[in-house]
Amino acid sequence: MREAAEQADFIFLCVPVGELESYLEQIAGFDLKPGCIISDVGSTKASIAACARKLGNRNAVFIGGHPMAGSERTGVEAATSILFENAFYVLTPEPSTPPEALTRLTDLLKHTRAHIVTVDAEKHDEIVGAISHLPHIIAVALVNQIRRYNEQNGLYELLAAGGFRDITRIASSDPALWRDILIHNREVLLRLMRDWNEETGRFIRMLEQADAAGIEEAFRMSGEFRSRLPERRKGMIHSIYECYIDVPDHPGIIGRIATELGNRHINLSNLQIIESREEVPGVLRLSFRTQEDLDHAIASLKELGYTARY
């Protein structure tokens, strides 16, 4: 590691959050190239930023980083060359970070086609705590609640399909990775969990009082906010023109749809079966490179009798 680090212009630390500080400390003891930039990809930023401040700069500059991309999968098998494309990549420079170092790092990261955003490390942890870490806790808690019911009656597992799967994918994330993330952001998460308790408390009160209007309003407000979120920020740039098609359970149906589009010279860029029902290809998601292809595909599929929608 010393040999590689001492020749490097850039060093990225890509280990679990709990290992970051010890690597940064080791690297700080090496004879790094003048101007070397050290960054990381950890999901929390305040603790590694504090460690870097303590170690000081010497030859190198540390700039924390966090690509908001990835999935519940880990290991090299989960890597793809387009992982960061169109994703937001957060950098957490300090007021003392030399602007030219930040420019060199962003120039390098541009090749990933991610959108670079800068914010300070503490604010990062507050925001990402709310939009990433809290949802992971909620998903895990929910799955464990249902897992306990299922011990008494296996029907829970059998019937758990659409909604449950949608909200719990991230409950399959790597336990050790998430142990580190939650522990390193525990102050923020404790505050967020208290707010979460209030949020669930509001639902308890609405149910106790059979407050139909209140429940409707809660769904209306959440739907409104959620519909403002871009459908798909990361992944392949070209897959943002998407439509959904209900596919009946007939052999060869997917091939037929693809062939019909091909016959009309409509270029598919991606195709995904959304598994909402066991053993039934429920919904097909088709992606195109242009709005024109998408509109043409929807019109053609409707003409052929399929239910196609944006």
Ligand X SMILES: NC(=O)c1ccc[n+]([C@@H]2O[C@H](COP(=O)([O-])OP(=O)(O)OC[C@H]3O[C@@H](n4cnc5c(N)ncnc54)[C@H](O)[C@@H]3O)[C@@H](O)[C@H]2O)c1
**Contact region for ligand X (CB under 6 A) — 69-77, 85-93, 202-210, 281-289?**
69-77
CB of 70 to ligand X, least distance (A): 2
> Binding residue for ligand X (CB under 6 A) from 10, 57, 74, 238?
74
CB of 22 to ligand PRE, least distance (A): 20
116 vs 254 by CB, closer to ligand X: 116
Of 157-216, binders to ligand PRE (CB under 6 A) are 170, 173
Q: What is the DSSP string of 11-25?
A: EEE-S-HHHHHHHHH
Binding status of residue 71 toward ligand PRE by CB under 6 A: yes
Pairwise CA distance, residues 41 & 14, whole Å: 6
Which of the listed partners (ligand X, ligand PRE, none) does 132 bind, with a CB threshold of 5 to 8 Å by partner kind?
Answer: ligand PRE
Lookup: tokens for 284: 């097909």
Which of the listed partners (ligand X, ligand PRE, none) does 292 bind, with a CB threshold of 5 to 8 Å by partner kind?
Answer: none
The neighbour count for residue 64, using CB atoms within 10 Å, is 28
Task: Spell out, one character per residue from 3 to 42, where the chain touches ligand X: x when CB under 6 A holds, - when not.
Answer: -----------xxxx-x---------------------xx
Nearest CA among 5, 4, 44, 43 for reference residue 24: 5
Which of the listed partners (ligand X, ligand PRE, none) does 19 bind, with a CB threshold of 5 to 8 Å by partner kind?
Answer: ligand X
Which of the listed partners (ligand PRE, ligand X, none) does 287 bind, with a CB threshold of 5 to 8 Å by partner kind?
Answer: none
Place of tokens 């059979």: 210
54 vs 73 by CB, closer to ligand PRE: 73
Which of the listed partners (ligand PRE, ligand X, none) does 235 bind, with a CB threshold of 5 to 8 Å by partner kind?
Answer: none
> Binding residue for ligand PRE (CB under 6 A) from 17, 28, 32, 43?
43
Binding status of residue 67 toward ligand X by CB under 6 A: yes
CB of 183 to ligand X, least distance (A): 12
- Residues binding ligand PRE (CB under 6 A): 43, 68, 70-72, 132, 170, 173
- Residues binding ligand X (CB under 6 A): 14-17, 19, 41-43, 66-67, 70-71, 74-75, 177, 181
